[in-house]
Structure 1
Amino acid sequence: MLINKKLKDYHIILASGSPRRQKFFKDLGLDFEIRLKKVDEVYPERLYKFEIPDYLAQLKALPHKEGLKENDILITSDTIVWHNNQALGKPKSKDEATAMLTSQSGTMHEVITSVCFTTTKLEKTVNHTTKVYFKQLTDEEIEYYVTHYQPYDKAGAYGIQEWIGQIGIEKIEGSYFNVVGLPVFEVYKTLNSLID
């Protein structure tokens, strides 16, 4: 049975303002409500790699838990770029975006997305890692991208689906959709397992 039929008696709440994540849910044919609550995205320094987006995805679920009803499935998510043993979040300025892209130029980084599923009975978190290999980017290419695309809402200061991804990424290992912002196959698989 297709997922949208299996979920017809459930109410999906997507706690994400990301237009890319919202489009993925529409593309899956799922009915969902967007519910946003501001969360201070701070995590303990001891966390490593996937532990960071796992923690933040679970943190984003906290403000919504109290109001959940029996047939609600709350979905929260977080993405980081892991490079040189540190997490790159969303750049706060042009200089920071430029520095992030310069550091990733000619190297491999990992994009890690965690998705947390919360109901009145359980909380389950899954994550996926994709390895992304950038070519050696020129200063001119980085300047052009940051100026024209202003990637301040994107972890690691870039969107793979944008110009920089088209001209700058040599190869990826793992899910492309994960780099865009959601490991769709993991979401599909997990939703199926929650209601089996």
Structure 2
Amino acid sequence: MEKSIVLENLNFGYDKKILNNINLEITRGEFIGIVGPNGAGKSTLLKIIIGQLKPNSGRVKILENNGKDKSIGYLKQMNIEVGVSFPITPLEIVMLNLYNQMGLMKVPNKKIKNMALNALSMVNLQEKAYYNYNNMSGGEQQRVLIAKELVKNSNILIFDEPTAGIDQDSKELLFNILDHLNKKHNITIIIVTHELEFSKKYFNRILKLENGELKDYSEVNIW
């Protein structure tokens, strides 16, 4: 099986050790759930994987995808706002991640727009491409932000509590879309969640982080 992410002897902490000798291999196309008590270091672990934090020791290896550029999409906790009060559309938000492909004048051409529309179609929002993002539900906003990461051809998606603040129907729809992306496009997905009872059916594996240690539960039905 082709590896996607490898963590080797990761240690991290400030005055107190948060992560203690973490070792993990994630196979390409896995759908991983990470659980654990508040303050266990789950968000810290994600930030180390994406490179926002450096471990005190150990290393993270993000492996290439058959010659394709490696790309990680990351949605941080409670990130359902884009921080603007003026009208902006889902299409415009997704195109923000195509800025470097827009040429000298930075004006989106037909190809750029089609790439963004395709990403929105992957999260079932193509028909709302020109809606006002600020008037959309929390679940729809979250899906727009997923499309924003997909348009980069991300082969790894990492989420920190993606269902926080959205209703149950939106949670189910979000996970169904992620499950489809995982199965159809072989995208590796890692999710930190507190809602294991509802979401465990989607995961290949569940990892529990507690007291600085990461335990791997390969059989999700033990929960």
Structure with the bigger RCO (C-alpha within 8 Å, sep 6+) is: 2
Q: TM-score, normalised by structure 2?
A: 0.27
Q: TM-score, normalised by structure 1?
A: 0.29
